[in-house]
Amino acid sequence: MIPTIRMRGLLNINKPSGITSYDVIRRIKPIIKPKRIGHTGTLDPIGTGVLLILINEATKISHFLLNQPKEYEAEIQFGVQTDTDDITGKPIATAPVPQVNFDEAAKAITDKFSGELEQTPPRFSALKSNGIPLYKLARQGVEVSPRPRRVKIYELELLNWQPPYARIRCLVSSGTYIRSLARDIGLALNSRATLTRLTRTKVGDFSLESAIDIDNLTTTDTDIKNLLIPVEQALTHLPRITITTEQALMLLQGKIITLPVSAPPIIPEIENRSSSLPSESRNNALALCPNRNFLALVKISDNRVKTVKIIYAD
């Protein structure tokens, strides 16, 4: 018997430019009418690319996906800085375009922007001050000074250099603002700069190549259930164990189960990414039943399994 496909999981949407991340949810919501819906990581209206939409129980894993590394391709214009740090803002400063060649620009960028660093978020951002988003305060003319915070640049490369424009690819930690990166790259080259284009090409293991065009999603009779990515597939970086229905019931009741020594967790093979995984990802595992009617986040210690969070139990 084929199990029923329930309306839960993720949609990897290719967000178009010109709309907000929540606009994507507004377009999807009337089609599937979920009890719960969310997304993992806001893309500014100027941005395009991977936006993960979480449907129903999938919203319970949002913090794991929010903390996943993200890859972007961005275009930067040198010679001008704006109040929003992207091309939609008002110019606030100008400077000569850097008179350097590709190799010199690449070295200046990669030498300065690698590993952990402090980054000051844009004044126009969704970060809050006393409960009020900074962009609202900035629009009211209130002077805001976002606090610098630690971010990590795993990879950064210069793809193209045709002054006054540069195109870069970067793999960064959660919380990194590419608008701020563009601004700071301008300063690093003794100029000013602003972001003109942005495409998010990856969130964790989800890529732009497999993303769904939202116009196709909302204007065809495609069965959305068949497009949903199972919740466990979004957590492929976590070790996993397969359990019986009886063991699932025990975990549901808050009891501890013991794994046979001959059945250790399956550890995913992730090349060159262990250092970029959130700490909670390295300490937890998934417990699931073969028929996909139970999924839980668990902690394993000495073959003893304890429930951390029930994601779903049918």
Single-letter amino acid, residue 65: L
**Domains by residue range for the chain, with CATH:** 8-68+204-231 (3.30.2350.10), 70-202 (3.30.2350.10), 237-314 (2.30.130.10)
Six token digits for residue 178: 């590419």
pLDDT at 277: 43
Single-letter amino acid, residue 32: I
Indicate if 83 belongs to the active site: no
CA distance 163 to 96: 11
pLDDT at 7: 83
Q: Which residue has the tokens 């309306």?
A: 7
**pLDDT single digits (tens) 206-236:** 999 999 998 877 665 567 778 889 998 888 8
Is the model more confident about 26 or about 277? 26
Single-letter amino acid, residue 10: L
Q: Which residues contact 247 (CB under 8 A, 6 or more apart)?
A: 257, 287
The one catalytic residue in 44, 85, 86, 184 is 44
Report the percent of the chain where pLDDT is more than 70. 88
Q: Residue 210 burial (CB < 10 Å; 0-12/13-18/19+)?
A: exposed
Helix, strand, coil % in the chain, rounded to nearest 5: 25, 35, 40
Query: What backbone torsions phi and psi does residue 223 show, to the nearest 5 degrees?
Result: -75, 110
Mean pLDDT (the chain) is 86
CA distance 136 to 216: 33
**pLDDT single digits (tens) 150-173:** 999 999 999 999 999 999 999 999
* H-helix or E-strand spanning residue 216: helix 214-219
